Amino acid sequence: MAEYTLKNIPEEIYHRAQSAAENSFRSLNQEIIYRLRRSFDAEDARTSALHARWVMEALETGAAKPLKITDLDAAFARGTKKAAARRPGK
């Protein structure tokens, strides 16, 4: 198992983690690993739900039809435009 030392932990976070560890009968290290794992699991769940939503939206649009190169280019242009609009300062 890999080892890593955390540095410059804000006092508030340290004390909250220490308190949570004590309340859960875990060591501070176990508490931090537990919480990291939970955050990654939550992120995975959000991503899975998003992908499931995309699949459902695609299925609800009707039967599949072959893409023309012009349709693909238009979709790419829309995506590029949306991504550019999300960039800060642009």
Question: Does 29 fall in a domain?
Answer: yes
Question: Does 3 fall in a domain?
Answer: no
Name the burial class of residue 31, with classes exposed (0-12), middle (13-18) and buried (19+) by CB atoms within 10 angstroms of its CB.
buried
Question: Does 66 fall in a domain?
Answer: yes
Question: Does 77 fall in a domain?
Answer: yes
What is residue 61's DSSP assignment? T
Question: Does 5 fall in a domain?
Answer: no
Between CA 50 and CA 67, with CA 48 as vertex, the angle to 5 degrees is 60
pLDDT at 53: 92
- What is the distance of C-alpha 29 from the center of its chain? 23
Range of the domain at 40: 11-86
Question: Does 15 fall in a domain?
Answer: yes
Question: Does 2 fall in a domain?
Answer: no
pTM, full prediction: 0.59
Instruction: Give average pLDDT by consecutive 10-residue segment, the chain, 90 residues.
Output: 91 96 96 96 94 91 87 93 82
pLDDT at 65: 82
Question: Does 71 fall in a domain?
Answer: yes
Split into its structural domains, the chain has a count of: 1
